Amino acid sequence: MMKTYLSFFRIRFTRSLQYRAAAFAGILTQFAWGGMLILLFRAFYESNPQAFPMPFSSLATYVWLQQALLTLLSPWAYNKDIMDSIQSGTIAYELCRPVDCYAMWYVKNLAERLSKVCLRGLPILVVAAFSSLAVTDSRCPCRRTFIFFFIIVSVILGNTVVISLNMLLFTHGILHHINAGNANAFCNVTDFLCGRHFFRCRFFPAGVLGSYSSTFPSPPCRTRHFCSSHRVYLP
Amino acid sequence: MICAEHLSKTFKVARRNSGLGEAVKSLFKKEYTLIHALDDVSFTVPDGEIVGYIGPNGAGKSSTIKILSGILVPDSGTCTVNGCIPWKQRKEYVKTIGVVFGQRTQLWWDVPVADSFDLLKNIYDVDDGLYRKNLADLTELLDLGDLLTLPVRSLSLGQRMRCEIAASLLHRPDVLFLDEPTIGLDAVSKLAVRKFIKTINEEKKTTVLLTTHDMNDIEALARRIILIGKGHILMDTSFETFISRAGACSTDQCGADTSASGDKRLEELTASLYTSLGI
């Protein structure tokens, strides 16, 4: 059975590699988007650094990690083929395969997300890691290893939750024949509630969504030193 | 052996009249209508037979195929195929059947056909040796040689349909459900598909249930016809009896058109029969 699931990964990777221009455009888009976010937040930092729950360097790290792992942790980056097949009726073929449909769709989703992360996310992580040489971190190596370990664990758990939410969407799609608008609404709500945007909530008017931002408490500020204050920071 | 007994299936479909007002009204109160896709459908198909399952659009042909392949669950009635109840023993059962939906594709659009075949091999857990032999047989019979390395999106409809049929037979099923396999195909591709179906039926004794609107498919392949209309089985007879009854209806309605060509004659006869049966 493992061979079956691995072959979903293989064909998904093969498919992703088929379109080199799309992969390249994806990488560029995420670099541009991450860069814009950091520039935007730098402007806010310059006006009021206390408004943020973390130092600017940590925010830069967070933005680049978010960009690199975007397709693993975003509810909206689900496998569109499955939803299309539900709406077009091609789902009939999927239902006459001798495999568990839930497991097959779960793996298809994971394969889609992992293939995108490998093609688009890894280059971002590599560039961000090299750029981080410009930043000195005062934390001891064992503490950094500890943090790294928890990032990995939280990414895996986050991915599990996000794909499970997608499975709810597909199940709902089969039962009620929902359209793209419903799917987008579902994804936007779950994306907002998954906590990826907690630092943006600091800028909401007082009293609006206060409970949302308090769900994600501010981490204690740590000291970091930058080699320049006028560059786009990478972690 | 396919054995369907008293199958019934009803779909609940939202209905509203045209116009903006009706659209707004339907936001608050939806009206539904019940469509009886199948009503007390029973038939038996012995092993190794090719049966033409025909009827006008919306008669219930595809719903029957979907129930027989374990995709839909009937509201009442039961069926067994090779001793299995399709929707109850779905995973074990579907290993023994092949399904082709002529209007859908099971191949991955962007990758070469061979990659989709490899995926299906793993899904059906086909032994390497058997897979190579099946693929070689299918490649020869359906003339797939050069197509396997091409992405599906670059294939013509006829080429794609040949690949779709091959994909449904890689695991060598005992029963093959073909839902309009020749729809939209040119004459050469239709002949190739017909020849292939006949060959696998004769050589591998594959049972075939074929739905189509092309009566020439039926004439070329099926000795037995099951006619369904508005969810009811109206006729279960030999091809010859079907044609003679259709001929009688045609004469009653407008007199036999002896000048019509073979293809046209078959279509006109079938249309006359459908009209006389009120379907």
Cβ neighbors of B122 (< 8 A, separation 6 or more) are A3, A4, A6, A7
Chain mean pLDDT for chain B? 91
Which residue is closest to A99 within chain B, CA to CA? Answer: B91
pLDDT digits (tens, 9 = 90+) for A36-84: 998 998 898 888 888 777 888 888 888 888 899 989 999 999 988 898 8
Which residues have CB under 8 Å from A29's CB, separation 6+?
Answer: none
Contact call for A15 and B151, based on CB within 8 A: no
Residue B231 lies in a domain: yes
CA of B103 to nearest chain A CA: how many angstroms apart?
9
In this complex, the residue of B92, B119, B151 whose CB is nearest that of residue A11 is B119
**Separation between Cα atoms, residue A85 and residue A95, nearest integer Å:** 11
Average pLDDT, chain A: 81
* B146 phi/psi in degrees, rounded to 5: -80, -15
- Residue-number span of the structural domain to which B49 is assigned: 2-6+43-96+173-239
- Answer with the residue of higher pLDDT: B232 or A27: B232
For residue B70, give the nearest of A4, A19, A96 by CB distance.
Answer: A96
Q: Which residue's entry shows tokens 């079907």?
A: B242
Residue A210 scores a pLDDT above 70: no
User: How far apart are alpha carbons A57 and A36 in whole angstroms?
Assistant: 15
pLDDT for the residue A54:
80
At B259 the pLDDT is 54
Asked if A215 contacts A70 with a C-beta cutoff of 8 angstroms, the reply is: no
pLDDT at A233: 40
Question: pLDDT digit string (tens) for B44-100?
Answer: 999 999 999 999 999 999 999 999 999 999 999 999 999 999 999 999 999 999 999
> Does B111 contact A at CB distance below 8 Å?
yes
The answer to whether residue B228 is domain-embedded is yes
Decide which of B177 and A202 is more confident.
B177
- A4: nearest CB among B69, B92, B123: B123
Contact A121, A27 (CB under 8 A): no
- A13-27, A215-229, B216-230, B264-278: least confident range: A215-229
Mean pLDDT value of segment A209-221: 55
Domain for residue B71, yes or no? yes
Residue B224 maps to a domain = yes
For residue A229, what pLDDT band results from cuts at 50, 70 and 90? very low
Q: Which of A53-67, A206-220, B144-158 has the highest mean pLDDT?
A: B144-158
Chain B partners within 8 Å of A112 (Cβ): none
Q: Is the pLDDT of residue A234 over 60?
A: no
Q: Find where tokens 């409970």 sit.
A: A211
> Band of the pLDDT at A127, cuts 50, 70, 90?
confident
Interface mutation target, options A82, A88, A96, chain B, most CBs of B under 10 Å: A96
Establish if B202 belongs to a structural domain. yes
Banded pLDDT at A178 (limits 50, 70, 90):
confident
Residue B211 binned pLDDT confidence (cut-offs 50, 70, 90)? very high
- Looking at residue A226, its pLDDT comes to 37
Question: At B262, is the pLDDT very low, low, confident or very high (cuts 50, 70, 90)?
Answer: low
pLDDT-derived band at A24 (thresholds 50, 70, 90) equals: confident
**A11/B94 CB distance under 8 A:** no
ipTM of the complex: 0.88
Predicted confidence (pLDDT) at residue A189 exceeds the cutoff of 80: yes
% pLDDT > 70, chain B: 96
Q: What are phi and psi of A179, to 5 degrees?
A: -100, 180
Tell me what pLDDT residue B266 has.
84
CB distance B104–A95 less than 8 Å? no
Q: At B177, is the pLDDT very low, low, confident or very high (cuts 50, 70, 90)?
A: very high
Residues of B in contact with A19 (CB under 8 A): 110
Do residues B50 and B223 touch, judged by C-beta distance below 8 A? yes
**Best B90, B95, B120, B123 residue to mutate vs chain A (most A CBs within 10 Å):** B123
Nearest to A96 among B99, B115, B125 (CB): B99
In a domain, B152, yes or no: no
pLDDT at A224: 40
Strand A224-225 to B50-54 pairing: unpaired
Helices and strands in chain B, H and E counts: 10, 9
Q: From chain B, pick out residues whose CB is under 8 angstroms from the CB of A90.
A: 101, 104-106
What's the pLDDT at A176?
Answer: 81
Contact A14 B105 (CB under 8 A): no
Check B123 against A98: CB less than 8 A apart. Answer: yes
Residues in Cβ contact with B278 at an 8 Å cutoff, skipping those fewer than 6 apart: B229
Total domains in the fold of chain B:
1
Q: How many CB pairs under 8 A join A and B?
A: 67
Q: Is the pLDDT of residue A219 over 70?
A: no
For residue A207, give the 3-state DSSP assignment: coil
Q: pLDDT digit string (tens) for B120-139?
A: 999 999 999 999 999 999 99
Q: If residue B188 lies in a helix (H) or strand (E), which one and from where to where? A: helix B187-204
The per-residue pLDDT for A21 is 84
Say what the pLDDT of residue B160 is. Answer: 93
> What is d(CA A78, CA A94) in angstroms, rounded to the nearest whole number?
17
Question: Which CATH number do you get for residue B180?
Answer: 3.40.50.300
Kindly report the nearest CA distance between residue B276 and chain A, in angstroms.
Answer: 33
* Stronger pLDDT, B7 or A21, i.e. the higher one: B7
| pLDDT level of residue B30 (50, 70, 90 thresholds) | confident
The amino acid at residue A30 is Q
B97/A contact by beta carbon, under 8 A: yes
**CA–CA gap between residue B64 and residue B62 (Å, rounded):** 5
- Cα torsion at B204, B208, B213, B215 (round to 10°)? 60
Residues in A whose CB is inside 8 Å of some CB of B read 3-4, 6-8, 10-11, 14-15, 18-19, 88-90, 92-93, 95-100
Q: Give me the pLDDT at residue A235, please.
A: 36
Interface test with A, best of B61, B119, B176 (most A CBs within 10 A): B119
Task: Please report the DSSP string for A38-51 in residue order.
Answer: HHHHHHHHHH-GGG
Q: Which of A135, A82, A122 has the alpha carbon at shortest distance from A104?
A: A82
Instruction: Look up residue A118 and give its DSSP letter.
Output: I
Percent of chain A with pLDDT over 90: 24
Q: Where residue A103 falls among pLDDT bands split at 50, 70, 90?
A: very high
Contact at CB, B71 and A19, closer than 8 angstroms: no
Partners of B116 on chain A (C-beta within 8 Å) are 11
pLDDT of res. B16: 85
Distance of CA B211 to the CA centre of its chain: 4
Say if residue B255's pLDDT is above 60.
Answer: no
